[in-house]
Chain A
Amino acid sequence: MAKDKQHQLEIVTEPNFLDGSALTIPMLQILKEDGTLQKNATAPELDQELALKMFDTMQFIRILDERMIAAQRQGRISFYLSSLGEEAASIGSAAALDSGDMIMGQYREQGALAYRGFTVEQFMDQLFSNERDLGKGRQMPVHYGSADLNFMTIASPLATQIPQASGYAYGQKMDGNGKCTICYFGEGAASEGDFHAALNMAAVYKVPAIFFCRNNGYAISTPSQGEQYAGDGIAPRGVAYGMKTIRVDGNDILAVYQATQLARKLAVEENEPVLIEGMSYRMAGHSTSDDPTGYRTREEEDAWRAKDPLARFQTYLINKKWLTEADADEIFAEKKAAVLAALKKAEKVPAPHIDELINDVYDTPPQQLKEQLEELKAHIRKYPEAYPKTASRIDGGEK
C-alpha cells in the first residue's frame, strides 16, 4: 500500500467520504433495568460496606433533592438544581476514585460531594447562604465547594471547568503524586468551545484526567438528539481527540463504577486521559425555574422512571442479601429526618457579616474597596430599615 510519508497516511485513489455514523459506540451495561446482572457480565469487585455506602449516598441525595425542591416551592430558598435520576452517574464514579483526587463538577454532582463526606449541615448552610457556608453566601444555591474534600467550587458558566481540569491534572502529573482529576459536565456543555479545547489539550499533554459526560437528554429544554448534536452523542469526540473513550449506562451504578475504576487506572498509571459518556435522563426540570411539561411528554418520563438507578441498585443489593426492604425504608426515614432537622437549623443562621462583602476579591482588600465598604456602611446606618439583614449588626455584634 502506498503511503504519504509526511503524514504517514495510506493513499487511496477513489473519493470515499466517511459517513458521520461510521463510528458508533456501544454502551456498557452490567445491571439490567430489573436489577439483575446482564448475561455474561461480571459485577465489579465491590464489598458490602462500599456498596452500602453508595446506596446510602443515593438515598440521601434523593431525599435532599426532593425536600429542597419543596423548600424552594415554599419560598424558603431561592433556587435549586436536582440530580433526580442521575444519582448513579456521580456517586458510582466518585466511589471509584481516591479521596485525594480532585473533583470538578458542573452543578448536578451533589452525589459525588456527599460521597466525599460533605455533611447535611454543610449542604444546608450553602443552600441558605448563611454565615457558616464555606462560600460565604456569595453564590446561588447548589454552588458547593470544599478544599478539604477536594471538590472544586461550582461555577454557573458552563464548561469552564473542563479545560481547568486539564490544567489541574497537568499539575498533578508534574507533582507525581499519583492523583487524578475527574471533571463532570452535561452533553449540552460539550457543545461549548471549552470542552473541545480541554479534551484536545488533555490528550496532547497526556494528563491524568477523567472527563465524565452525564448525557441526560436535555440542555434545559433542548433535546440532545438532533438539536444538541447530529452525531452519535459525545463519546466519538473523545476518539477524535485521540483519547481512550467508553460509553456506559449512566443509570447502572455498577457499570459507572467499573468504567471509572478502570479509567482511573489508565489516567494515573499510564497518563491516559479518558472520556466516559454516561447515558441517563434528567428526571426533574433543569432547575426550580424550569417546567419540563412544556417540552416533553409524560410517557417519555415514565419510560425513564422504569430505568431508575436507585431502584435498580436496591434490587441488586436485596438479591445479594446485603440489604432488606426494611433496611432501605429505615435508611430513607433516617436521611429524611436528618435533612429536615438540618434545614430547620440552617435557615435560622444569619447571613455572613457585611464586612465579608469585600474579602477574597484579592488576598487582601485594596484601599479603594475599604473606602467603598465604609461608604456603604454609612449609608446602611442612615437607612437601617431598608437593609434589615445587616443593619442590626453592622457595628460589632456577633462577628
Chain B
Amino acid sequence: MAKMNLLQAINNALDIAMAKSQKVYSFGEDTGSFGGVFRATSGLTEKYGRHRNFNTPLVEQGILGFANGLASQGSYAIAEIQFGDYIFPAFDQIVNESAKFRYRSGNEFDVGGLTIRTPYGGGIAGGHYHSQSPEAYFAHTPGLKIVMPRNPYMAKGLLLSAIFDPNPVLFMEPKRLYRASTGEVPEEEYTLELGKADVVREGKDVTIVAWGAQVEMAEKAADKAAEEGIDCEVIDLVSLLPWDAETVAESVMKTGRMVVTQEAPLTSGFASEVAATIQDKCFLYLESPIARVCGLDTPYPLCHEKEYFVDHLKVYEAIKASMTY
C-alpha cells in the first residue's frame, strides 16, 4: 500500500496498463512529456516513448475519431479530453460512433479498447467552462459505459477495469478531488467491477445515492444527520451505464426513503433516472417522496458558485425533510 492522491492513482493505473500491454496508447491535448494540464500522464512518455504517450493537435473530434479508429484496429486507446466541458465537439464521435460501433456492424467490428478520460465537476472556481458535469448526455446513449470514481482507491481499480473492458468506457474524473482526495492504494494491479454500486456506509433510516465527487457531500451530510440520530445508508453508484438499480432498490426497500444528489442541473439529470426507477421498483415501500438534490437549472456560475454548489447542507436538509415528511 502507498498513500496516493487521486491523480497519482490514475497515473499509476495508466503506468500499469501501459506496462502490461504494448498496445495501450495514451494521448490528448498536452498529455505528452508535459503530462497533461493536471499531470495525470506525467512520466509516461519518458517511460514508454512518445509513440505510446503523446500530444494531439487541439481538436477534440479528431482525438475521439482517431481513438475510435485505433481501438477498432485492436489497440487500447486512452483518450484524454482536457475538461469535460470541451467534450462536445467529440459528441458525434462518441454518441454515433463509439457507442454504436459493435451494434451497427453486427459485431464484425468494435471499439472495446477505447477509454475516454475526462475531468469533470465544479468547486474549483472554474466558471461555465471548467465546472460542468455532463454525464447525463452520455448516459442517454446505449453502448457506452460510464464510470465516475470517488477516491484514489476506486479510481485506480476502476480505470484498470475500464481500459481492458471489452466496451468503450467514459471515465469521468472528479477534478475537485484530484489532489484533495488521498488514501491508501495498493501498488500492484487490481480491478474493480464496472456496473456495481458500492454501499459506502450502511444505515436503516434513509438511502442517499450519489456518484463521483458528490459522494463526499453525501457522507458529510450523513455525518451531520447522525448527530441527530438519523442513520443514513450511503450508496456510491460508481457506474452510471449500466447502473446497479438492484443494490439501490434493495437499500430503499429497507430504509423506505431516498435522497439522490448530483452536481449537474436538476432537469433531465441522471438523478431523475434513479428516482423514476426506484419509485417503480419500490413504490409500496416508500415512506416519503424521493428527493433530488441537484444544481440549479442555470449554466454553471462563477461568483455565486458557493451558493449554487450542491453542498452537504443541502443534502442534509433533504434528509431531514424526508424523515419528517
Contacts and interface: CB of A to CB of B under 8 A. Distances in A.
For A143, A172, A368, the residue with the greatest tally of chain B CB atoms inside 10 Å of its CB is A368
Contacts of B246: 367
A165 B143 CA distance: 21
A160 B65 contact: yes
Interface string B100-115: 1011111111101000
A174 B96 contact: no
A201 B62 contact: yes
B67 interface: yes
A196 B57 CA distance: 11
A169 B68 CA distance: 12
A136 B106 contact: yes
A363 B114 CA distance: 13
A155 B57 contact: no
Interface stretch (A145-153, A224-232, A323-331): A145-153
Contacts, number: 151
For B73, B75, B167, B195, the residue with the greatest tally of chain A CB atoms inside 10 Å of its CB is B73
A198 interface: yes
A194 interface: yes
Contact of A200 (B62, B72, B245): B62
Given A164-B97, A171-B75, A363-B112, A157 B92 contact: yes
A360 interface: yes
B105 A167 contact: no
Contacts of B64: 163
Nearest to B54: A205
Interface residues of A, number: 47
Interface string B13-32: 00000000001010000000
Contacts of A136: 106-107
B61 A153 contact: no
Interface string A69-93: 0000000000000000000000000
Given A146-B108, A164-B69, A363-B167, A194 B102 contact: no
Interface string A228-257: 000000000000000000000000000000
Contacts of A166: 62, 65-66, 69
B70 A163 contact: no
Nearest to A104: B69
A366 B73 contact: no
Contacts of A288: none
Interface in A154-184: 155, 157, 160, 162-172, 174, 181
A160 B93 contact: yes
For A153, A166, A197, the residue with the greatest tally of chain B CB atoms inside 10 Å of its CB is A197
A204 interface: yes
B242 interface: yes
Contacts of B59: 193, 196-197, 200-201
Contact of A168 (B72, B108, B142): B72
B143 A160 contact: no
A135 interface: yes
A197 B62 contact: yes
Interface in A188-216: 193-194, 196-198, 200-201, 204
A198 B62 CA distance: 6
A85 to B, nearest CB: 28
A194 B61 contact: yes
Contacts of A359: 107
Contacts of A369: 242
Contact of A360 (B61, B72, B102): B102
A160 B166 CA distance: 22
B66 to A, nearest CB: 4
B69 A165 contact: yes
B56 interface: yes
Contacts of A146: 108
A221 interface: no
Nearest to A147: B108
B242 A164 contact: no
A21 B210 CA distance: 58
A301 B112 CA distance: 45
Contacts of A181: 69
Nearest to A181: B69
A346 to B, nearest CB: 16
Given A138-B106, A194-B92, A369-B242, 12 more contacts: A135-B108, A139-B104, A155-B96, A155-B100, A164-B97, A167-B67, A181-B69, A197-B61, A360-B103, A360-B106, A363-B166, A367-B246
9 contacts: A147-B105, A153-B104, A160-B65, A162-B65, A166-B66, A167-B77, A171-B75, A198-B62, A369-B242
Interface of A: 102, 104, 133-136, 138-139, 143, 145-147, 152-153, 155, 157, 160, 162-172, 174, 181, 193-194, 196-198, 200-201, 204, 359-363, 366-369
Interface of B: 23, 25, 51, 56-57, 59, 61-62, 64-75, 77, 89, 92-93, 96-97, 100, 102-110, 112, 142-143, 145, 166-167, 195, 242, 245-246
- Which 4 interchain pairs have the tightest Cβ spacing? A163-B65, A167-B69, A197-B62, A164-B69
